[in-house]
């Protein structure tokens, strides 16, 4: 008799591409895993479990067990569509171990563009404020970074997933209502923070959001972002006209190959797609007249990179927003070392199957059962048919709830 095909479960990481939400990344993974030979044993074992559950309940199936069987997936910390990098994924019983990745150390690389603030603290939102940026220098930014190292207090972005009295903060902004309590700062740790590249004005592909917030929206956001209002109040009468004139000067002196480079850059196109003004599509964007900086950081759980970009802009007497983000490491998973490339999925199971099997085998080796891991690449939870499927499924370790 041939050996039963093992069920593979555990935790791995995938390199999430830009313009794809974390939830969509999981759906894309499921699309490839569900019909695959690699996860056929998992599907079969889950069917046996459901049959056993039904037998114990006199043939009745719960609503959950009436749903089509899909490989169970979950992620260990979301990445915005704007962001790329490590997305930790739990498969099967591995989803029970994802909480540890929410609390672990992460390494990020971001680009902050100065001179403007958006309602989302990044290029996906609408511009709510502008501020002078001509005075900002590389040394000024390097000096300002010092105050963000170590154990610090950080205020989450207004459009984060945090809730106040059961309502998400962005809902107050959209409704034009005041937050009933002050948005509290939270303790975070920044163990490493360095500027790895200084980007001179007009020389980089990053830019402010194309869409400007309506006056009503700006007033609503001002109520929720008192820090932005206070920081720019001193220069409020100088913002719009000087910035507009300076932008014209930079554009007139920057005709050349850079705009074409921006047009062909997939990341820039994806970043700007949700906020493009259809009346201005035909007009190609020119380089941003403000400087930008690429920053790498190692941070604790609960750290908001968008907040750092916003706060760094204020620290240099201007405004700032996040234009790019990559998570290069999360816990034990690191790009270029033990992360599945998303593009491998489209190359077929012959490519991604062995790679994913190896990654889950390594997870099992590093996290043996009894030490917080899973010993699931085994015959304990068989994928091959048994003489009495219901009895076999009942005797096998139960799968995680779907």
For the record, the structure tokens of 141 come out as 């930014």
**Mean pLDDT along residues 286-296:** 97
Task: Provide the pLDDT for residue 158.
Answer: 72
pLDDT value of residue 20: 96
Is residue 64 over pLDDT 80?
A: no
Q: How many Cα atoms are found within 13 Å in the side-chain-facing hemisphere of 152?
A: 21
Secondary structure (DSSP) of 271-332: HHGGG--GGGTTSPPPPPSS-EEEEEEEE-TT--HHHHHHHHHHHTTS-EEEEEEEEEEETT
Identify the weakest region by mean pLDDT among 18-32, 114-128, 337-351.
Answer: 114-128
Q: What pLDDT is recorded for position 56?
A: 76
- Out of 188-197, 289-298, 376-385, pick the least confident: 376-385
Known catalytic residues are 80
Query: What domains are there in the chain, each with its CATH number?
Result: 10-103+334-395 (no CATH), 106-329 (3.30.70.3190)
Average pLDDT taken over every residue of the chain: 78
pLDDT score at 6: 85
Residue 272, pLDDT > 60, answer: no
Q: What pLDDT shows up at residue 402?
A: 27
CA proximity to 318, closest of 53, 171, 59, 133: 133
- Above 70 in pLDDT, residue 37? yes
What integer pLDDT is reported at residue 378 of this predicted model? 40
Mean pLDDT score, 79-103: 95
With 50 as the cut, is the pLDDT of residue 185 above it? yes
By residue count, the chain amounts to: 402
247, 122, 294, 114: CA torsion to nearest 10: 40
Query: Is residue 46 within 8 Å of residue 400, measured between CB atoms?
Result: no
d(CA 207, CA 289): 9
> Looking at residue 285, what is its pLDDT?
82
Q: Is the pLDDT reported for residue 264 higher than 90?
A: no
Q: Say which residue, 402 or 333, is predicted with more confidence.
A: 333
Q: Is the pLDDT of residue 179 over 50?
A: yes
Predicted local distance difference test score (pLDDT) of residue 305: 97
> What pLDDT shows up at residue 229?
44
The least confident of 73-77, 164-168, 290-294 is: 164-168
Q: What is the mean pLDDT of residues 132-141?
A: 98
Question: What six digits make up the tokens of 15?
Answer: 């390199």
Give yes or no for residue 15 having a pLDDT over 50: yes
pTM exceeds 0.85: no
Highest mean pLDDT among 1-10, 211-220, 341-350: 341-350
Instruction: Give the pLDDT band (50/70/90) at residue 89.
Output: very high
For range 224-237, the mean pLDDT: 45
> Are the C-beta atoms of 383 and 45 separated by less than 8 Å?
yes
Q: Name which residue leads in pLDDT, 234 or 53.
A: 53
Q: Has residue 50 got a pLDDT over 90?
A: no
Q: What is the pLDDT of residue 51?
A: 76
Give the Cα separation of 256 and 91 in Å (integer).
49
């Amino acid at each position: 008799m041939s050996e039963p095909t093992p069920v593979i479960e555990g935790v791995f990481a995938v390199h999430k591409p830009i313009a794809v939400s974390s939830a969509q990344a999981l759906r894309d993974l499921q699309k490839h895993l569900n019909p695959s030979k690699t996860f056929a044993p998992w599907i079969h074992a889950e069917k046996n479990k459901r049959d056993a559950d039904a037998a114990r309940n006199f043939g009745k199936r719960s609503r959950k067990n009436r749903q089509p069987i899909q490989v169970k997936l979950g992620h260990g910390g979301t990445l915005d569509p704007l962001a790329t990098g490590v997305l930790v994924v739990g498969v099967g019983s591995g989803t029970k171990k994802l909480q540890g990745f929410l609390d672990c150390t992460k390494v990020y690389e971001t680009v902050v563009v100065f001179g403007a603030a958006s309602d989302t603290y990044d290029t996906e939102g609408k511009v709510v404020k502008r501020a002078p940026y001509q005075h900002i220098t590389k040394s000024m930014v390097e000096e300002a970074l010092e105050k963000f190292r170590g154990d610090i207090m950080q205020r989450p972005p207004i459009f984060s997933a945090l809730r106040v009295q059961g309502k998400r903060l962005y809902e107050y902004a959209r409704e034009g209502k005041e937050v009933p309590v002050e948005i509290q700062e939270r303790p975070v740790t920044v163990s490493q923070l360095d500027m790895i590249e200084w980007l001179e004005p007009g020389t980089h592909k990053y830019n402010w959001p194309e869409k400007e917030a309506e006056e009503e929206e700006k007033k609503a956001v001002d109520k929720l972002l008192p820090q932005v209002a206070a920081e720019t109040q001193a220069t409020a009468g100088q913002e719009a006209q000087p910035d507009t004139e300076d932008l014209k000067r930079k554009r007139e002196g920057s005709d050349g190959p850079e705009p074409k480079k921006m047009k062909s850059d997939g990341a820039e196109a994806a970043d700007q797609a949700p906020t493009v003004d259809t009346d201005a599509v035909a007009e190609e964007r020119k380089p941003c007249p403000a400087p930008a900086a690429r920053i790498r950081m190692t941070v604790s759980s609960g750290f908001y990179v968008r907040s750092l970009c916003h706060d760094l802009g204020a620290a240099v007497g201007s405004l700032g927003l996040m234009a790019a983000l990559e998570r290069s490491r999360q816990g034990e998973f690191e790009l270029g070392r033990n992360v599945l490339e998303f593009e491998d999925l489209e190359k077929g199971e012959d490519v991604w199957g062995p790679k994913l099997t190896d990654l889950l085998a390594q997870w099992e080796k590093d996290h043996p059962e009894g030490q917080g891991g899973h010993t699931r690449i085994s015959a304990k939870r068989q994928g091959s048919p048994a003489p009495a499927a219901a009895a076999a499924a009942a005797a096998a370790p139960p799968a995680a709830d779907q």
